[in-house]
């Protein structure tokens, strides 16, 4: 799969932090019911890999990937858990090579022009711009569009339901990443209808 295909399933990729394996499948089903199929489960908790495995096994309509992939070991573990893509907060050649070896499409993180060049030299032209708002936000993305007209971005980090449309109108933005679809209080309460409603609103976002 070309990583850019991920952007074809809707304007928002949820960035998901799961503490309990029991939440994984109902959460994924709630997001899919709202029209959000591409799910990034971050490797930030001890439960993350088991959550990815459960979603891959039990929610076939979801396209589940691993976020916060920082090493070759992370890439292999994500693949073995059933992840269909990987997202990294930054980029190293080691992570890129490991994902290629694992057959795992990678959305590598960048924050500067030098990092864009490094990722592009290794064959990546669809990049995660992270942390989007802290790294310059919309003005930075506009500035990058000049020297890099052939690069597309998924800005992630600090984006909200209110600001997402402002990013989505940019010519070099294909999709945004955001954590607002899966608020911690909704997860803690098992409020799946609320998450479906948030997913439905996100799926309808257009620049």
Residues designated catalytic: 40, 128
Best CA proximity match to 127, nearest among 166, 176, 167, 83:
176
Residue with tokens 């916060």: 68
Question: How long is the chain?
Answer: 207
Residue with tokens 């029991």: 22
For 69, how many CA atoms within 13 A lie in the half-sphere containing its CB? 37
What distance in Å separates the CA atoms of residue 177 and residue 179, rounded to the nearest whole number?
Answer: 7
User: Phi first, then psi: what are they for 110, rounded to 5°?
Assistant: -140, 155
Record the tokens describing residue 180, joined without a space. Answer: 């607002």
Distance of CA 172 to the CA centre of its chain: 16
Kindly state the DSSP code that residue 56 receives in the 8-state scheme.
H
Q: Are 25 and 54 in contact (CB under 8 A)?
A: yes
């Amino acid at each position: 799969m070309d990583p850019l295909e991920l952007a074809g399933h809707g304007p928002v990729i949820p960035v998901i932090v799961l503490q309990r394996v029991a939440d994984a499948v109902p959460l994924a089903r709630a997001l899919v019911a709202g029209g959000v199929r591409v799910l990034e489960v971050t490797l930030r908790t001890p439960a993350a890999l088991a959550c990815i495995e459960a979603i891959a096994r039990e929610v076939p309509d979801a396209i589940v990937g691993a976020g916060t992939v920082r090493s070759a070991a992370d890439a292999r573990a994500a693949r073995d858990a059933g992840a269909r893509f990987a997202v990294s907060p930054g980029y190293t050649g080691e992570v890129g090579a490991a994902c290629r070896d694992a057959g795992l499409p990678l959305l590598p993180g960048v924050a500067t022009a030098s990092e864009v060049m490094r990722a592009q030299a290794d064959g990546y032209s669809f990049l995660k711009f992270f942390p989007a708002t802290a790294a310059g936000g919309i003005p930075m993305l506009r500035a990058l569009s000049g020297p890099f007209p052939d690069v597309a971005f998924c800005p992630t980090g600090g984006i909200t339901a209110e600001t997402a449309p402002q990013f989505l109108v940019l010519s070099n933005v294909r999709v945004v990443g955001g954590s607002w679809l899966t608020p911690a209080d909704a997860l803690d309460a098992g409020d799946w209808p609320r998450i479906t409603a948030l997913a439905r609103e996100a799926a309808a976002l257009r620049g």
